[in-house]
Amino acid sequence: MIQWIFILLSFTLIVWLGKILIVDREEIVASDYNPLTEEKMAEVSRGAILSADGKYLAYTDVAEDGSEIRRYPYGPAAAHVVGYIGRGQSGLEAILSGVLMEPSTLISQLQSWASEEKVQGCSVQTTLNIDLQSYIYDQLDGFQGAVVVSEPSTGKILALVSNPSFDPEAIVDDWEVIINDERGPLYARATMGLYPPGSTFKIITALAMYRNMPDWKLYSYECGGELLVDEQVIMCNDHRAHGYMEIEDAFAYSCNGFFGKAGIDMGWAALVGTASYVKLGNDFDFILDQNTSEMHLSETDVDSMVAQTAMGQGETLVTPFAMNMLTAAIANDGVLYQPYLVQAVTDAKGGVLRSVEPTIWGTVMTRPEADFLENLMRGVTEYGTASRLSDYPYEVYGKTGTAQVGEEEDSHSWFTGYTVKDGKVDIVITILVENGAETKQAVPLADAILSHFYGLQ
């Protein structure tokens, strides 16, 4: 009889723990910051954060005196994603705190009750390609900016780099230095940085032409290097006169006059309508904080403002992350997958307790529209402003951008594009280099990163 009661109690316990381990964890991952009690900190050893291939991005080490130390083997390279604990908390360390401090297995929980030892917390496997992430971080040395690399066929985020950065292990000791650094090393530029899109916005203007001008194929413009609107001069890059332009060459060479004039001819509503159609200004249900891209253009705006907006100036602001998502939708025939950074929750031995399946976020454009843009983006890399990327053993599509940020400062440099390998869309890469336009820095960076990713160096 007593044996039966014992079995029944054990069974109840297993069911109860099973509920914690499976059902509640889903809710915890989905929910925001989960505050921890002192008691829990004393009982559970915080789990690790891992790269896609199982390398430690954050783990708990035990010092000689028995105290726990949080280690970040990749230091500043992934700091904005992994985050830190110690001086408040940020990034995945903050958002997944509840998961990392949750007992990882029933046995671990039972053992801890039987002994004085700490329970192992769950680990989290991310989608980050840490080799790529580290390489990109090194390449950004000396620049301020951000790079986003994603897999459009699934929504996986492979790299999310912001520079300047900080060493999460030194967050307590260096706190004053870090927060007083006027470059803003704690700022996650990839997801939070709002920048004028420059000519990458011509993706939206070209799509607006396709959707609003039945004769877009015949639309032409004679570029003399500058477009005069409302007594304002809109110049082409390097004061270049492009000559007779139709949409394909205008996009490949990034002719401001062509797109400025097309914007005026279409009118403000076509631009605003298309930006809204491709979900510019929508937030993606992403685990890390993001700023929302914005576009301001209305009926009351004069033609010069419409022209400026059409060529990516005006008052439009986008994040590198949002630009990456737009590019991913083009790469994926109009279908945008939900971007995700956490692949699985595992026990301390790597056994998967819960994993994430790719899901569709939404259809952002039709397949013919995506094909139309893909054709234009091919011209950019074949013979246009990113022709440096023409000699790859796979196809590269893209758009460059130069975004003016004032009279005194050098403009920002953009590249956003994707690769197709063996007939299948592979990765999307978006690069923003602050004040990097003088040397058109984004394209050589794209070249270096793609060469590294494909092992061509």
Q: Which stretches of the chain bind Zn ion, using CB under 5 A?
A: 223, 236, 242, 255, 257
Minimum CB distance to Zn ion smaller for 309 or for 332 = 309
Specify the DSSP element, H or E, that contains 397: strand 395-403
Minimum CB distance to Zn ion smaller for 203 or for 227 = 227
Instruction: Report the Cα 132 to chain-centroid distance in Å.
Output: 14
3-state secondary structure of 287: coil
Minimum CB distance to Zn ion smaller for 251 or for 418 = 251
Minimum CB distance to Zn ion smaller for 80 or for 242 = 242
Q: How far is the CB of 236 from Zn ion (least distance, A)?
A: 3
Minimum CB distance to Zn ion smaller for 132 or for 223 = 223
What distance in Å separates the CA atoms of residue 15 and residue 308, rounded to the nearest whole number? 62
Helix, strand, coil distribution of the chain in percent, nearest 5: 40, 25, 35
Cis peptide before 320 (omega within 30 of 0): no
Q: How far is the CB of 261 from Zn ion (least distance, A)?
A: 10
Q: How far is the CB of 309 from Zn ion (least distance, A)?
A: 17
What distance in Å separates the CA atoms of residue 271 and residue 406, rounded to the nearest whole number? 24
Q: Residue 141: how many CB atoms within 10 A of its CB?
A: 8
Q: Choose among 380, 373, 418: nearest CA to 250.
A: 380
Q: How far is CA 431 from CA 60, 302, 345, in A?
A: 33, 31, 30
What sign for the dihedral angle of Cα 319, 325, 326, 331? positive
Q: How far is the CB of 237 from Zn ion (least distance, A)?
A: 8
Minimum CB distance to Zn ion smaller for 152 or for 257 = 257
Q: How far is the CB of 243 from Zn ion (least distance, A)?
A: 8
Q: How far is the CB of 145 from Zn ion (least distance, A)?
A: 26
The token pair at 84 is: 């830190």
Q: How far is the CB of 251 from Zn ion (least distance, A)?
A: 11
Q: How far is the CB of 407 from Zn ion (least distance, A)?
A: 21
Minimum CB distance to Zn ion smaller for 236 or for 428 = 236
Minimum CB distance to Zn ion smaller for 132 or for 206 = 206
Minimum CB distance to Zn ion smaller for 55 or for 240 = 240
Q: Residue 404: how many CB atoms within 10 A of its CB?
A: 15
Contact assessment for residue 446 and residue 415, using Cβ atoms and an 8 Å cutoff: yes
Q: How far is the CB of 327 from Zn ion (least distance, A)?
A: 23
Query: Residue 448 class from Cβ within 10 Å (0-12 exposed, 13-18 middle, 19+ buried)?
Result: middle
User: Where does 72-219 show beta strands of DSSP type E?
Assistant: 119-120, 123-126, 145-151, 156-163
The token pair at 261 is: 């004039």
3-state secondary structure of 221: strand
Minimum CB distance to Zn ion smaller for 259 or for 321 = 259
What distance in Å separates the CA atoms of residue 261 and residue 259, rounded to the nearest whole number? 5
Q: How far is the CB of 221 from Zn ion (least distance, A)?
A: 8
Contact assessment for residue 236 and residue 225, using Cβ atoms and an 8 Å cutoff: yes
What distance in Å separates the CA atoms of residue 249 and residue 222, rounded to the nearest whole number? 12
Residue 19 CB contacts under 8 Å (≥ 6 apart), including other chains? none
Minimum CB distance to Zn ion smaller for 221 or for 284 = 221
Q: How far is the CB of 256 from Zn ion (least distance, A)?
A: 6
